Structure 1
Amino acid sequence: MFQSGEYFGELSLIDGKRTSAAVGVTKDSTLALISKENFFSILHTQNKILDNLLNTLCMRIRGSLETIQMFSQTQANKRLFMFFNKLATQYGTDAPNGTALNIRLTHNELANMTGLARQTITKVMDEWKAEGVIIIHSGKFIHLTEKFFKLPLE
């Protein structure tokens, strides 16, 4: 999921290969297109943009490695724990007794992002709610309590 000011499609501009990615928006957005020629012209003349691109590529590679680690977990609670930790880094804000995830996700969306069945997501989250590990606000906003960060899962 991208935020305002972020970009995508740079790999195709760099290596000329197509990527089988789909992009959708959840609110009104403005998108800009750039040709390969203009892209390389900017990279060769604007060192700050090149530095930002390299940093972004490194972040995405690290994110991909984290995702591979997450998918290698066979226990659903460990996989969901790793995913929520990743969301906490990207979308979390300090809240009383923990971290609030400032992103709305359905159980189906969580299942798609973790490779788990929706029913498994519901089961783990229901267990965590009962134990006070997470709190669900306004139907879909997730609050990770201090207990979440002390789970003996890692």
Structure 2
Amino acid sequence: MKNVLSFETKLSQAVTQIENKYSKTRVLEAGEKIFDFLEPQQNIYFSLNGIVKLFKIDRIGNEIAIALLPEKSFFGLSSLLLDELEQKYSASAVTPVKLISTPTFRVRQELHKSPELSSLMIRQLVSRLLNAEITIEFLRMQRSQTRLVSFLLILSRDFGIKTNAGIEINLRLSHETLAEMTSLSRVSVTKFLGQLRHQQMISIYRQKITIHDPKYLRQYYKIPDLLS
């Protein structure tokens, strides 16, 4: 069987070819901004470790979460298609993060050498856009508890590991982080998580949340089935 490499693997190979000469390594503390949507976006980023948050700012200045990215993720990919002044989102470190950045034009040169890689890039961008739209839609829900549950379901989709107890979200998430990602207060997050634990819908061990039955949780809170 032909070995088909993933988009991230192929792009990683392209970045590796120019990494030593053109890339820079950065180490960021939790909460530190990586780039702002107002800044010209001139680099592609690859996280070596840590969790990165992508977000937008609405008209009244509130953050709207777009995605949480695990380690070994590329971001800033829209700079390959958009003008430098058209960057549409910001990025910051949720946990301590180590990343490398490579000038966009160098990555673009590698993409021009491979039509297959360019096609994979477009599919990856479309997939991320669709997931971002779903995330934004659910996080706009009026009821605070439903918003938190929706976000947990999104995390279980993107970071979930199947265990005997259910789906474990393979991220260490503090109440403060969940509050920031859902635009809720930390007190509200603590209260709602406590209610979910009391209802035996979730369990938490060392900041990792396990959803015992995601389908039942979604149905109980009447959340549309758009997360699969």
Same fold (TM over 0.5): yes
Identify the residue that residue 73 of structure 2 maps to in structure 1. 6
Q: Structure 1 residues 112, 56: CA separation in 2 closer, same or farther (over 3 Å shift)?
A: same
TM-score of the pair, normalised by structure 2: 0.59
Identify the residue that residue 186 of structure 2 maps to in structure 1. 118
Counterparts of 2:77 and 2:103, CA distance in 1:
10
The residue type equivalent to 1:93 in the other structure is: I
CA-based RMSD of the aligned residues comes to 2.1
SS of corresponding position for 1:93 = strand
Query: Does 2:204 correspond to 1:132?
Result: no
Counterparts of 1:104 and 1:94, CA distance in 2:
16
Alignment of 1:23-102 (within 5 A): 23-24=92-93, 26=95, 29-36=98-105, 38-102=106-170
Decide which of 210, 218, 222 is 1:143's aligned counterpart. 210
Cα deviation, 1:83-127, whole Å, max 9, x if unaligned, reads 111101111110113111110111110011011111111111100
Structure 2 regions of 5+ residues with no counterpart?
1-67, 224-228
Q: How many residues align?
A: 151
Counterparts of 1:112 and 1:28, CA distance in 2:
17
Cα deviation, 1:12-34, whole Å, max 9, x if unaligned, reads 34322264624438467351413
Relative to total residues, which structure has the larger strand share, 1 or 2? 2
Structure 1 regions of 5+ residues with no counterpart?
none
Q: Structure 1 residues 25, 97: CA separation in 2 closer, same or farther (over 3 Å shift)?
A: closer
Counterparts of 1:142 and 1:25, CA distance in 2:
17
Question: More displaced, 10-19 or 68-77?
Answer: 10-19
Counterparts of 1:76 and 1:115, CA distance in 2:
9
Counterparts of 1:35 and 1:79, CA distance in 2:
35
The residue type equivalent to 1:6 in the other structure is: S
Counterparts of 1:78 and 1:98, CA distance in 2:
20
Identity of aligned residues (%): 24
TM-score of the pair, normalised by structure 1: 0.85
Relative to total residues, which structure has the larger helix share, 1 or 2? 1
